[in-house]
Amino acid sequence: MVVSAAAVGAVATGTFTALVPGDPTGSADAAESFDGSLAATSALLADLPADVPAAGGLAPIAFSPVGFEQVDGSAIADSHLAQLDKAAVMAEEVAARLAEEQRLAEERARLDAVIAEGGLDGWIAEALDIMDLPQSLAPAIEDIIMAESGGNPRAINNWDSNARAGNPSQGLMQTIPSTFNAYVHPDLADRSITDPVANITAGVRYMIDRYGMETLEAGGRSSASGGYLGY
């Protein structure tokens, strides 16, 4: 339905014309009533906080759903990067651990093969393994053994002072019975003095206790001229 300004009444306000229902004549009373309403509304608008934009203007406002805090996108990115860095470090650590486990497994396999083959190298390797000493000591121990017994596990010295006292040196490392009994590795205490592995453990442990690891690493004691001295 189309309603004309004449039908409802028109009131001039200076800047626009308002249509007032029910007053076809545009009476003064209607105009005064409308002007009063405008004044009241203007008063309400004047009381609004300063940071509330006036009607007709557009101002950006931050919106945050109820129960959620504003999220900083850069903080999320930094967090993700930190997690990626941590994952990379963990991956490197796992790879290093696996590589070390592989190296130890290969070394164990090599050592088992040497021990299984027997002979002087196998006896030394097994003795060091039992004593939990590094296999890098093997060459020095071999030098001592060759100087003491020539690599013969049943060698017995029947001519030195110990022999004359009834306690001949025996085995690869040429230990006397009392030294063997005191220094043989506990795991091999039930073996004889001429057992090659047990004899090595006794001789090595005695040398370390009496002269220190440095002497063992040097392949035994040496004279001023560099010759081998017994222990």
pLDDT digits (tens, 9 = 90+) for 88-128: 999 999 999 999 999 889 988 987 888 888 899 999 999 99
Cross-strand pairs, 222? 228
Does residue 224 sit within a domain?
Answer: yes
Q: What pTM does this model have?
A: 0.58
Shared domain for 34 and 131, answered yes or no, is no
Does residue 180 sit within a domain?
Answer: yes
Question: Which of the residue ranges 44-48, 130-134, 156-160 would you say has the lowest mean pLDDT?
Answer: 44-48
Residue for token pair 């009392």: 178
Shared domain for 38 and 136, answered yes or no, is no
Average pLDDT on 174-199 reads 97
Does residue 109 sit within a domain?
Answer: no
Does residue 129 sit within a domain?
Answer: yes
Cα separation, 109 vs 149, whole angstroms:
29
Which amino acid would we find at residue 43? A
Helix 138-148 and helix 196-211: axis angle, to 10°?
Answer: 100
Dump strand ranges (E) for the chain.
Answer: 10-12, 17-19, 221-222, 228-229
CATH code for the domain of 183:
1.10.530
Domain count for the chain? 2
pLDDT at 121: 95
Does residue 21 sit within a domain?
Answer: yes
Cα separation, 161 vs 167, whole angstroms:
9
Q: For residue 30, what are the contacts with CB-CB under 8 A and spacing of at least 6?
A: 9, 11, 20, 23
> Is a pLDDT exceeding 90 seen at residue 12?
no
Structure tokens at 10: 């028109």
What is the extent of the structural domain holding 198?
119-229
pLDDT at 76: 82
Winning range, highest mean pLDDT, from 13-22, 34-43, 119-128, 221-230: 119-128
Does residue 171 sit within a domain?
Answer: yes
Does residue 196 sit within a domain?
Answer: yes
Angle, alpha carbons 19-22-23 (nearest 5°): 75
